Amino acid sequence: MLDQPLLQVRGLKKTFPIDGGRRLVAVDGVDLEIKAGETLALVGESGSGKSTVARCIVRLVEPTGGDVVIGGDSILGLQPSRLVGVYRRIQMVFQDPNASLNPRMSVRQVLEEPLHLHLYLLRSERDARVRELIEMVGLTPAHLDRYPHELSGGQRQRVGIARAIAVSPEIVILDEPTSSLDVSIRGQILDLLLELQERLHLAYLFITHDLQVVQHVAHRVAVMYLGGIVETGPTKELFADPRHPYTRALLSAAPVARWGVKRTRTRLSGEISSAIDPPDACRLAGRCPFARPSCSDARPPLTDIGGGRAVACPVVIERIPT
Ligand SMILES: Nc1ncnc2c1ncn2[C@@H]1O[C@H](COP(=O)(O)OP(=O)(O)O)[C@@H](O)[C@H]1O
Ligand code: SF4
Ligand SMILES: [Mg+2]
């Protein structure tokens, strides 16, 4: 089917048991969809559960519930031995490139490793692929014999990206790929990611808390707050007319392009609430200027409001003219 999403995340949950029999609910029923060649940005403040979503999708941590479907195949039920096939289709780039680069391996070895694991290539084919990869990320064959500590942060992230695309995946999860880099390098890495996406028709799940980056790279956005998606929609429409009180507060506080639309300031009071044994209520209820008593009755579902947009707040949905 032409319009079938490449990646579907359905009702994803991850709970971490902590001391005293309590539970930290890091991800609480997340639904996401990404089509081939598309970038979905996952945004939200630190601790909202973005990295845990990413790690559950690639099974670096085992989800507590829900499902992840790639190209129609559910991957959460697979035995670990069958995950190798999954990793040909989906790869991850980490915030800290050192996390994916073994300091004792040369760049050549770092790039050869996934080729050994996934593809049966002749020595000459493998050498050619490694040279192709290093050039695709803007480095030269001379970098292949260096070790990670002999590279700059930006060069290390380029190697991390080359490793992720080595086996030609369809989806790459990018977890804050530019946050650890100097500001002057960030733009170059973003441009590289955009160029590779176009050339290889990659789908990206782009995790970031930088809304300017979102405006630059994402077709669609999902806004996460304390384990749940509170709003999702096409980037331009969502930035021009944010609906959920949390999205409004996030954009009110950020230096983002206004894209010519009215913006009333929304401020939240108090601190982010705890993810430990949370009540079945809207997670924003203690901080939201629009809260009503009914907001503490149950967690509002993400509800379709048309135009490819969805919002998890019945109070603002009631006010949207039909
Ligand atoms: N291995 C773990 N054990 C216990 N708590 C964890 C673990 N990993 C993440 N968490 C908690 O889950 C929540 C979400 O974390 P994370 O997914 O890293 O958020 P984000 O990437 O949005 O900053 C946080 O409260 C964090 O402390
Ligand atoms: S459901 Fe209530 S508390 Fe939650 S965002 Fe909407 S108005 Fe605010
Ligand atoms: Mg994170």
Residue 62 included in any domain = yes
Mutate to test the pocket of ligand 1, among 24, 28, 274 (most ligand atoms within 8 A of CB): 24
Task: Indicate if the pLDDT at residue 321 is higher than 90.
Answer: no
Residue 115 vs residue 82, higher pLDDT = 115
Task: Indicate if the pLDDT at residue 64 is higher than 80.
Answer: yes
Residue found by looking up tokens 């403040």 in the block: 45
Query: Would the CB of 282 count as within 6 Å of ligand 2?
Result: yes
7 within 8 A of 32, measured Cβ to Cβ:
yes
Residue 243: give the domain boundaries: 7-89+169-257
Compute the average pLDDT of residues 282-292. 93
Residue 277 included in any domain = no
* Partners of 40 in beta bridges: 205, 220
% of the chain with per-residue pLDDT over 90: 75
Query: Would the CB of 226 count as within 6 Å of ligand 2?
Result: no
Residue found by looking up tokens 């044994």 in the block: 277
Task: Indicate if the pLDDT at residue 9 is higher than 60.
Answer: yes
Residue 76 vs residue 144, higher pLDDT = 144
pLDDT grade for 264, boundaries at 50, 70 and 90: low
Cα distance from N-terminal residue to C-terminal residue, the chain: 32
Compute the average pLDDT of residues 35-62. 95
Residue 233 included in any domain = yes
Q: What is the pLDDT, as a whole number, of residue 259?
A: 56
CA distances from 24 to 64, 104, 146, 155, 270 (A): 12, 36, 42, 36, 20
> Which ligand 2 atom sits nearest the alpha carbon of residue 230?
5
Task: Indicate if the pLDDT at residue 298 is higher than 50.
Answer: yes
Query: Would the CB of 76 count as within 6 Å of ligand 2?
Result: no
Residue 128 included in any domain = no
Compute the average pLDDT of residues 181-209. 96
5 within 8 A of 15, measured Cβ to Cβ:
no
Give the pTM: 0.94
Give nearest CA residue, ligand 1 atom 14. Answer: 49
C-alpha 2 to ligand 2 mean position (Å)? 37
pLDDT one-digit tens code per residue, 118-134: 888 889 999 999 999 99
CB atoms within 10 A of CB 296: 14
Residue 302 included in any domain = no
Residue 20 included in any domain = yes
Spatial separation of the C-alpha atoms in residues 269 and 117, rounded to whole Å? 51
Q: What is the pLDDT, as a whole number, of residue 322?
A: 45
Residue 12 included in any domain = yes
Backbone angles phi, psi at 278, to 5 degrees: -70, 150
Residue 274 included in any domain = no
CATH number at residue 194: 3.40.50.300
How many distinct structural domains can be found in the chain?
1
pLDDT one-digit tens code per residue, 232-262: 999 999 999 999 999 999 998 877 655 555 5
Query: Would the CB of 290 count as within 6 Å of ligand 2?
Result: yes
Query: CB-side exposure of 104: number of CA atoms within 13 Å?
Result: 0
